[in-house]
A and B are shown apart, each in its own frame.
Chain A
């Protein structure tokens, strides 16, 4: 009898081989006129260059968005994006939000009850009543 391979789709497991940061792009929008953008303007001038240099794997774009609140949008490898409005925030608060964007995967927020997620089959195998020593009565 010929040995046939099992057909299976490959499951990506980030970190097992190489680790790839899920956040690929962060857009920062600021406004020169709006008062709510004061923190964002200060952040772009002071803390942002160091943060951007520390993350060469993320593409950063900084562009004005006149007469609107400042916003930071994170784009992820799974195609989703996370906008965070940073109106009336101080530069260090905006840095924390950028760190949140960097740490996130793009997945939707979900309540997870089981801590371990695995695609491996069980190590011991599935119990069968026909194998092993049987059930002594």
Chain B
């Protein structure tokens, strides 16, 4: 809000200051004083999980199409303020004569929203009333959590056996993956980091397609271009994983902007870890989303570790949830190992993001059960006891199963049958993928641009000639 004050006065006269859209809606003439007032009344909304929203929907249509004259803001100096208050852009600020610094954090850490405890018991009866999860949906969620677990375990072993070169597991984060995906619609674009293959799994990417990508074979929909676990699928609205950290966070804001422009009833979601929140991209993306009132969900998987860097070395704030307020973004902390909490939080966030056209930040506290990737050995920097405790006592999959069993929707026979079937399916997918040949040489040069330019044609010819001349120097199944 205050950025234009740094410019010269002549510029300011020409500038039309951008007052908050809320000021546009409710107080057309008195500008910024009203902005902050309205802000405060919005904070009660977060408790109304299912209640929908107030006046904000109409904002959608007239937001940012109004312009204000500089003079209107200057008028305010006479009307508002006084000796106690500074009429500053953004709202009135009360003076104080106490030399008091804000503490670095609240006395108590922000509470963590949870529905199921470790034993699969509901901690609140409200839940059942607010969010009717059918047995069908719950069993489906469990099936996919088990599928993700199986896929991760077997693919990890395949890497250890040398059959694939690299893999990223989401062990310990199955609830985050599946429950958040279940709360979204296919219209919501997903911008993942790399530990969210469960979201793609939920949306319908088959085990065979996963295997094909990991083996980088001819049937890979990414044409062998990316490392294993860097999935992407336009028909599942899941944007291709890039290895760069947190670059997807501003992409999600851009996608939200696109949805807003096209007035589509959807929101974008992006996932990132605790480490990713240290990047400049994270900061600016949250800031942008707040300023632009973009319908985006920022989902932080705070799993305690960024490779070998524990969160204590990553930041000194109370996790990520407190940062939302710094940017003017509604935020919540949830138990990342509780599928029901995640499901309800994401559903509420989606509703808020779309109907109120605002970003929402969700911090899920969880634990990275596996290594960072197959190129890491986490026992080198953390104790085996710690890993064991989280994997056993806090396992999201077993917790959810216990709840299902209590509800009478699952039993040990079904469990055995499911696990056997899943294992068979995953192994089969790997076996098939391993046999398929790799993409042809021509795929090195396509998709760099919409059509290959002359220099790439030349380079392709040179390479093909080299292969034909010295076939023994190149891999045997390297076809042209």
Partners in one complex: no
